[in-house]
Amino acid sequence: MTKSITQLVESVHDRKDELVSFVQKLIEFKTPAPPARNTEEAQLFIADFLKQKGFSIDMWDVYPNDPNVVGIKKGTQSASYKSLIINGHIDVAEVHEDEHWETNPFIPIVKDGVIVGRGAADMKGGLAGALFAIQLLHEQGIELPGDLIFQSVIGEEVGEAGTLECCNRGYTADFAVVVDTSDLHIQGQGGVITGWITVKSSQTYHDATRRQMIHAGGNLFAASAIEKMTKIIQGLQELERHWAVTKSYPGFLPGTNTINPAVIEGGRHAAFIADECRLWITVHYYPNESHQKIIQEIEEHILYVAKSDPWLRDHPPHFEWGGKSMIVDRGEIFPSLEIDPTHPAVQLLVSTHESVLQKPAIVDVSPTVTDGGWLAEAGIPTVIYGPGKLHHAHSVNEQLSIDELVKFTKSILMFIYEWSHTDKKEKENVLNEI
């Protein structure tokens, strides 16, 4: 590391007021999701910021008024040096009218060493810190040999996976950092998938026929879909407990892999026997599992449950998994993300963090989910690393420590510089020596 980059990292503290003002500027863009469809102004601001720093810009609508922005800064020696994606989401958690904020959540204030405003922790602080690091490099005329790709995406709060759209558009790199809320831990994550389980009769029945389908001699082979769904729910609980006993993952408490029966819908009105019932479930699974395997396990188990019931045997449940949006089609997928602690970029981020903060880095797993799983699923080694504490995210009077923001900005600045100066052949040469 050169003396100039050391001095640049140290300058972050002297310019923290500018950094704080930058976070405040991003918070002032009102981008809650839901309702979503409100990020264009903020994304134009980021696109213009990156363009002024020498980035080429790719901006496209994922949904109307909700565009993704990808800034690309080609390295001076792209073929020889490592490339990096910095990723973050511009949308923030929704705000209800009855929440008691000290101030307007989109007019941020600074008090007692923290920034208060919606999105401070999740995750406009992370976006601002990474963008400020880019600004400092640009001001000093430092040209990176490796490619740097900055992704400001939409829809993370409602499962709309703007990051997946970036992957589908072909953006890739040797490593990616999602600068989302992690309290400066270097993290992987489990995965989440939602699903709908539907039980449906091919016939409808008047409520006065109920006696015929539940008492001896009724001679009507029919059932309430709502009542049959209770057997499905019981089967899900049995599988959930089985997972808790048979599965585990370091860093997670036992039983973190859960199946939540979140919403149930069924029946027409009181004069009908319920001919249809739909159950909306949310499934959390471990970093070393895929949503495809989890779907298979649930469907196999529930279909066995159905075979044990005379009516469900002839009316097996139907499954719908995932979705593109909690707003549009009421579904989402967040793939899991498993960290390889021996990966050169992970080791570099650990050493960078320790050099800046003068304390050991913590490599663990996030108890929540981010878009990082989409990058990993696209074959890009990825970590979550950003400022902010999870218990402040989504909260009333959401806040971010200025000290933590400064530390993050220093660390990510140094990491961007060092990783982009890492020779692509370095690992290959080490392996050849072994």
Here the tokens at position 136 are 């400092």
Tally of residues, the chain: 434
Tokens describing residue 251: 């860093």
Q: Which two tokens stand for residue 70?
A: 């990808």
How far apart, in Å, do the first and last CA atoms of the chain sit? 26
Amino acid found at 260? N
Q: Give the three-class secondary structure for 366.
A: strand
Determine the Cα–Cα distance for residues 391 and 389; give it in Å rounded to an integer.
6
The rounded radius of gyration (Å) of the Cα atoms in the chain is 25
**Residues classed as catalytic:** 91, 156
Residue 70 burial by CB count (10 A; 0-12/13-18/19+): exposed, middle or buried? Answer: buried
Q: What is the DSSP string of 106-170?
A: TS-EEETTEEESTTIIIIIHHHHHHHHHHHHHHHTT---SS-EEEEEES-GGGT--HHHHHHHTT
Helix-, strand-, coil-residue percentages of the chain, each rounded to 5: 40, 20, 40
User: For residues 62 and 47, what is the distance between their CA atoms, to the nearest angstrom?
Assistant: 15
